[in-house]
């Protein structure tokens, strides 16, 4: 059974940092692109970032470029999102998703909540 | 606002049919495949349609997708109360380059 389990969310002050993790199981993690997608409370889905199967290629939304870094450890079947210089508008549930072609595909995690507030 | 434009809400009676539109441009829908996602209240998004009109295993054929030019459409027939959810279209935008989502459409089954 494919599973994606996010962790690392929590309350952080503006300007602070947080690292999210997404533990993958039930599939060959190293073969797939992976995505991060976020959703602010009561708002729609917003794509954040993606990384290719071996970690050599990444893309970011303009809103997080230069502040967030996506990475992966294929030996540990884990996806990461390092978030620095956090702002109130980064408050959201963050989902990881396995990629299909260019897009998030069929498998999504349950999400982890990040709250940026003083 | 979102790169892809969806109606904020649609509604229909149980058993009826509804369509949800998703409008974009040549840099996104016009030249890339579209996916549709369903998000039930309090849950993670779920892939309904990929590659414009394909359904993952387990998705009933009441759900269908189509694309023409720079627009895509999700169709749902035989509406059920359990279909009440938010629906999002998504695609790759070659000019950004980013994944882009529509703003979401809330479906109410009256």
Tokens 């999210």 correspond to what residue? A20
Spell out which residues of chain B touch residue A105, defining contact as CB-CB under 8 Å: 35, 47, 50
Binned at pLDDT 50, 70 and 90, residue A101 comes out as confident
Q: Look at residue B102 in the predicted model and tell me its pLDDT.
A: 97
Lowest mean pLDDT among A62-66, A100-104, A106-110, B6-10: A100-104
Rounded average pLDDT over B84-107: 96
Please report, to the nearest 10 degrees, the dihedral formed by the alpha carbons of residues A27, A30, A31, A35 taken in order: 90
User: In whole angstroms, what is the distance from residue A94 CA to residue A110 CA?
Assistant: 9
Q: How far is B46 from chain A (nearest CA, A)?
A: 7
Around Cβ A102, how many Cβ atoms within 10 Å?
20
Q: Which one, of A40, A31, A64, A3, lies nearest residue A114 by Cα?
A: A40
Q: Look at residue A42 in the predicted model and tell me its pLDDT.
A: 95
Q: Is B65 on the interface with A (CB under 8 A)?
A: no
| Residues of A contacting chain B (CB within 8 angstroms) | 35, 37, 44-47, 50, 59, 61-62, 95, 97, 100-106, 108-111
pLDDT over 90, % of chain B: 97
Tokens 């549709």 correspond to what residue? B36
Residue B1 has pLDDT above 90, yes or no: no
Rounded average pLDDT over B3-16: 96
Q: Look at residue A102 in the predicted model and tell me its pLDDT.
A: 86
pLDDT per residue as tens digits for the range B73-83: 999 999 999 99
**Which two three-digit tokens encode residue B72?**
């895509």
Average pLDDT, chain B: 96
> Are the C-beta atoms of residues A115 and A91 closer than 8 Å to each other?
yes
pLDDT per residue as tens digits for the range A27-72: 999 999 999 999 999 999 999 999 999 999 999 999 999 999 999 9
């Amino acid at each position: 059974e494919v599973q994606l389990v996010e962790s690392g969310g929590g309350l952080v002050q503006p300007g602070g940092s947080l690292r999210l993790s997404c533990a993958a199981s039930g599939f060959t993690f190293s073969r797939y692109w992976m995505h991060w997608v976020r959703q602010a409370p009561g708002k729609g889905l917003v794509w954040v970032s993606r990384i290719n199967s071996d970690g050599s290629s990444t893309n970011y939304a303009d809103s997080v470029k230069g502040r967030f870094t996506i990475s992966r450890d294929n030996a540990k079947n884990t996806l990461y999102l390092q978030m620095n210089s956090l702002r109130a508008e980064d408050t959201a549930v963050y989902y990881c998703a396995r990629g299909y072609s260019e897009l998030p595909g069929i498998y999504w995690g349950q999400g982890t909540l990040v709250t940026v507030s003083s | 606002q979102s790169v892809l434009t969806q109606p904020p809400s649609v509604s229909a009676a149980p058993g009826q049919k509804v369509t949800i539109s998703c409008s974009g441009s040549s840099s996104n829908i016009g030249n890339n495949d579209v996916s549709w996602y369903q998000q039930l209240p309090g849950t993670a998004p779920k892939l309904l349609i990929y590659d414009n009109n394909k359904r993952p295993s387990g998705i009933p054929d009441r759900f269908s997708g189509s694309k023409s030019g720079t627009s895509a459409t999700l169709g749902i027939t035989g509406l059920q109360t359990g279909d009440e959810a938010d629906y999002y279209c998504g695609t790759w935008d070659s000019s950004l380059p980013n994944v882009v989502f529509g703003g979401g459409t809330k479906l109410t089954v009256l």
